[in-house]
Each structure stands twice: as structure tokens, then as C-alpha cells.
Amino acid sequence: MKKWWLLIMVAVALVVPKAARAQQAKEFLVPPAGGTYEITVHPAFVTALSFPEKLSPKALASDLRDNYDIKPNGEDGISIRPLKADAKPANITLQTISGAVRVSLTLRVVSDTKDALTLVSFRQTSEDEAFKQRVADQVAKETAALRDELAKAKADLDKRIRSSVDEVVAKRALARLETHGLKAVERNSDNVIVRVPRVVYLGDDALLYFDVENRDRSPYRLAKVQVMTNGKDYAGAVQFASDTATHDDAVLGVVPASGRGQGVVVVRQWSQLVGRGLTLVVEQPEGRGRVAVDRIVLR
């Protein structure tokens, strides 16, 4: 690596704030006929351009005065830094002293540091290899643009979904929003106690809250929650929280020994179940540690 190139890298690392050090290196393959390239720059960076041989002293440039600071770096490179964030695009034409590498560059200031190039090199190559690079660069550019569009579309969709959910919740709350206390409780042979202390009526849905107290010496890995009556399960979505996190998709939550966890299960269309005796069933994987809490009545 050339000494001046290393010096520029060190200088950028020392001068530019850490948050702005989005150093991006790019190598352009220049065919025999020369090429046209866009160089994205930012006022926070010095963008270093490196050529394979000594540069010709002749350079054709658009109006760079008061917009860009351009200085030589040895005999085979230059450094560029825009003087202001709103500097207009500028064009500059460079070539090596032998004429083997000729480039027409468009300097464009970007607002985000991560989009700026800080280390740029040019290498002489065949027309075929340069064409392949142009294709790859275009594909990468279009892929990035598509990724941005998808991210924006997802954000818009998430916003619309959240708005729709809020609207549904508000309508249901207007229809009915009541909390009723319950006193249902049961335990299993491992001394795991499950309580159902209350039910919240939200429109057509009933939210059954339950607590799991684990007095066993082994963790209780909650895997399944059911709301049963007459052999049919009416449980909808389930959420469970405890002090122990789990990364197992087959487990809703883990209650450590001597610990407790709280959960809620949604019962859809609760009005169809008024007066029936419901049973809340919780289990570990493979049906182990089953606890069935009955005598739950919706009103």
C-alpha cells in the first residue's frame, strides 16, 4: 500500500468524528476507451483518489472554485473535499501520463456520511471486465433502491395496521370494557399453582388473566394454554411474561423454581359462552405438568 494512501486513512480516522467514519472504499475498472464515474463526497470527509501511475498535469474541470478543495497526493493521486454541504455537482476529467487510464468524474455531495466514498482507486482493465463491473454496480444500486422501497412500504403498512388495530380496540372498548374478578385456582402434583384472578371484557372478546406460581424445584416451561368447554378449545392469542426469557419457539415462557409468571389468553365471541363452565388448561411440552383450572364462568 502506498505511503500517502496510508497517511490519508490515518488522518481521516483521527480528524473525522467516530459517528461519521463511514469509510467506503471503491475500485473502478477503467476500460481502454476510458470511463465516466460518479464520486459521492461529503464535507466531513477527504475523498482520496488513487491511480495506477503518475497523473497528467492537464485536467479539465467545471467550476470547482468555492465549492471543492482539490489537492494532489503525490504524483498518482488527488484528494477532494466539498467546502459546503450544498455544493453543486461538478465535473472533472483526469488521465494518467501515459493516457492508459482516462476518467470523467462527476462529484456529487451527499447528505448522509454512509453514502460517501472516502477511498477510491482506478484500475486499467479490459472492456469485458469493465462491462461486468458496470452491470454488477447497476444491479447493486437497483437492489439497494428496491430494499429502501420495501422498507418504506413495510413502515407504511405497519402504520396502517397499527391504525386499524387501534380503531378496532377503540370500537370494542366503546361496546364494552369491564373488569370482573374471579377466584378460580388449581395446582398439580408438582406444586405448580395456577390462578385466574380476573377477566376483562373488551367488546366481543374476553381476556382471561392467569398467574403461574412454580413451587417445584424445576423450571416450569409453559408450552400450551387452552380454554375448554364441552371438549372444544376456545383459546385465541396468548401472551405470557416471566422473569426468565426463552428463545424456544415451542415454549411461551419459563417460570423458574420459586418464581411466578403472568399471562393473558383471548377468548373470542365470549357471549356464546355465557353461563358455561370454562376450564383453563396449561401444560409443559408433551403435556407434562398439566394444570386444569375449572369453575370459570363468564357473565
Mean pLDDT estimate for the chain: 87
- Do 246 and 285 touch, CB atoms closer than 8 A? no
What CATH number does the domain located at 178-297 have? 2.60.40.1150
Supply φ then ψ for residue 92, to 5 degrees: -145, 140
Rounded Cα distance, 118 and 79, in Å: 9
Q: Which pLDDT value is given to residue 23?
A: 54
Instruction: Label residue 254 exposed, middle or buried (CB < 10 Å: 0-12, 13-18, 19+).
Output: buried
Record the cell numbers describing residue 51, joined without a space: 491511480
- Do 266 and 209 touch, CB atoms closer than 8 A? no
Q: Which pLDDT value is given to residue 139?
A: 85
Whether the pLDDT of residue 261 is over 60: the answer is yes
Q: Which pLDDT value is given to residue 16?
A: 46
Residue with cell 493521486: 77
Question: 201 or 245: whose pLDDT is higher?
Answer: 201
- Span 55-68, average pLDDT: 80
Categorize the per-residue pLDDT at 17 as very low, low, confident or very high, splitting at 50, 70 and 90.
very low
Whole-model pTM: value is: 0.54
H or E, element range at 137: helix 127-175
Rounded Cα distance, 82 and 26, in Å: 19
> Domain boundaries in the chain?
3-125, 126-175, 178-297
Categorize the per-residue pLDDT at 15 as very low, low, confident or very high, splitting at 50, 70 and 90.
very low
Record the cell numbers describing residue 82, joined without a space: 466539498
Residue with cell 454488477: 136
Residue with cell 372478546: 205
Q: Which pLDDT value is given to residue 6?
A: 45
Nearest to 265 by CA among 279, 254, 276: 279
- Output the CA angle 211-213-215, nearest 5 degrees: 170
Whether the pLDDT of residue 107 is over 90: the answer is yes
3-125 CATH, one of 2.30.30, 2.60.40, 2.60.120, 1.10.405: 2.60.40
pLDDT in tens, 190-242: 999 999 999 999 999 999 999 999 999 999 999 999 999 999 999 999 999 98
pLDDT in tens, 147-167: 888 888 888 888 888 888 889
